[in-house]
Chain A
């Protein structure tokens, strides 16, 4: 055996551990950083008013950033593996916008407050329909370009739908609501939001982790994967449900935060190699890292209003997307 696989798996474990350590560091920072800095030795001191800021605001916000970031990173890695396209991302492909459309629809129909599960359910449904639409439009050949174009169209339609539904709804804050849904934020969330989203993100994530074998086989294209005994329909179903649950739940509590799923697998690929199944867990961890870092950054950035983390990610992600596109073109040329 020229290269014992055990050795390489250690490398992957080291990467996972490194990302996890970073996660712990960032989570701690996330608890103490913001408009009000809470020194570490003041954490847990009863009677200190700053303790309330931590438990009521920063703990939910940190947990949410973790869960949403992991959901987006993992969804991005899965979608890139399935489409064999390093430009795929739930935000770019319009899956997140479809989730937002589902969520906003409940506001428009005025059913969102009947039950706490209605809005997330619609968001997850929207995301699932989004993935299925992409798979069906792009066809069995799943050509990269048509997939991406279908995503752009889906994204445009869904975003327009969000704006339309909010404008037509009897809502005096429509403009700011549109902004919040299309450029998501983690500000002012409570532990209820965490309780709503986390279970679905966990279930969706578990389903997505189960696609590793199929994603690896898809390296050989659809025919190649089928020849290796992989059922494409099953894989599509798992991805639609997994991304639907994970992304849908994430968008339901944070709005659309793009580019996490685009950037993260790309960075992980440099450290873990390009085999799709090896990217899944590190992408979930790195997604959580990235979103936490971005959220801390927008919190400590001075200004009258806090910048939405969705805006920050777009500002960071769009140039990254462009750079990736250029390097891909070079590689194909």
Chain B
């Protein structure tokens, strides 16, 4: 179990994460959703033990995360950052082997490490790409390689910050299938997502974050009910049955939502006559 108690993070005096209490269960996929700037990434950073909260604490299996050493924490929590950096042109296998960093002994790689890497490549269907230069992969292949890197560490938990951004729907499905498989095998998965329909179809549980607070938490469609969507996103929307699962039908912008005023004026959907 991964729990957050009274988690608060302030940046420049503003509470980006505000007294968040959250208990996450292994064996299921939990999606954290919310508008831009809601504090999703900051919360993920805390859950991964990479950001020290100002108040509150994160506990892993009832032990404070801060009491674990860097290595033990890294062995148990796999983290995929939102904007992954890959500095050198490594082949995929060498890249995935980086996931064993926290397990590696002084004498280098063991058979156990090699086995974990091979298994991770297999699970993500990247074995055929093992010798390819990672910087030349397509977005979908790269996303799978990144997940393989996290899986190679054989963590108890997988915390992925927007792992699907920039992927086409088919590759989104591939990536979520891998994450779902990890949860099915008993691991805990926490992902932040932007595509709400997609979140509703893939997650077992959805936590809605707005202005640093949890405003809804539960089964997908219930958590993302029209009231919540109105409050969190300023959206007028409803769920319809899409055959393959629930579909979010977005009717329009709701006037009373957060920062709806200026978004109305120059929102992403506004047409710029000078463009």
Interface residues of A (CB under 8 A from B): 1-3, 5, 84, 213, 216-221, 223-224, 226-231, 273-276
Q: Does B87 contact A (CB under 8 A)?
A: yes
Q: What are the 8 closest A-B residue pairs judged by CB atoms, nearest first?
A: A229-B74, A221-B85, A84-B87, A274-B88, A229-B102, A227-B79, A228-B101, A2-B130
Across the interface, which residues of A come within 8 angstroms of B87, CB to CB?
84, 218-221
A220 partner residues in chain B, CB cutoff 8 A = 81, 84-87, 98, 149
> What distance in Å separates the Cβ of B51 from its nearest Cβ neighbour in chain A?
10
- Residues A223 and B81 in contact, CB atoms below 8 Å apart: yes
* B29 located at the interface, meaning its Cβ lies under 8 Å from any Cβ of chain A in the complex: no
A236–B73 CA distance with the chains assembled, in angstroms? 21
Q: Is the CB of A3 within 8 A of B130?
A: yes
**Contact (Cβ within 8 A) A2 B70:** no
Main SS of the interface on chain A?
helix
Q: How far is the CB of A287 from chain B (nearest CB, A)?
A: 20
- Of chain A, the residue at the smallest CB distance from B121 is A2
Q: Within 8 Å CB of A227, what residues of B?
A: 48, 50, 74, 77-79, 81
B249: CB under 8 A from chain A? no
A-B residue pair count with CB separations less than 8 angstroms: 86
The answer to whether residues A224 and B84 also contact, given A2-B130, A229-B71, A231-B70 and a CB cut-off of 8 A, is yes
B residues neighboring A (CB under 8 Å) = 48, 50, 69-75, 77-79, 81, 84-91, 93-95, 97-99, 101-102, 104, 109, 114, 118, 121, 127, 130-131, 149, 153
Bound: A3/B93 CA distance, A: 8
B45 to chain A minimum Cβ distance, whole angstroms, is: 8
Residue of chain B at shortest CB distance from A8: B94
Residue of B97, B101, B102, B118 most packed against chain A (CB within 10 A): B101
Interface contact A1-B79, CB-CB below 8 Å = no
27 contacts between A and B (CB under 8 A): A2-B131, A3-B91, A84-B88, A213-B104, A216-B98, A217-B98, A217-B101, A218-B87, A219-B88, A219-B95, A219-B98, A221-B81, A224-B84, A227-B48, A227-B77, A228-B98, A228-B153, A229-B69, A229-B70, A230-B101, A273-B94, A274-B88, A274-B89, A274-B90, A275-B88, A275-B90, A276-B88
User: Measured between C-beta atoms, what is the minimum distance from B114 to chain A in Å?
Assistant: 6
CB distance from A237 to the nearest CB of B (A): 14
Please name all residues of chain B whose beta carbon is closer than 8 Å to the beta carbon of A5 when the two chains form the complex. Answer: 97, 109, 114
Contacts of B104 in A (CB 8 A): 213
- Complex Cα distance, B153 from A230, in Å, reads 14
Question: Are B74's CB and A219's CB within 8 A?
Answer: no
A218 to B86, CA, bound (A): 9
- Identify the closest chain B residue to A279 (Cβ): B88
Interface centre among B79, B88, B89, B91 (most CB of A within 10 A): B88
A229 touching B114 in the complex, CB below 8 Å, given contacts A2-B127, A274-B88, A275-B94: no
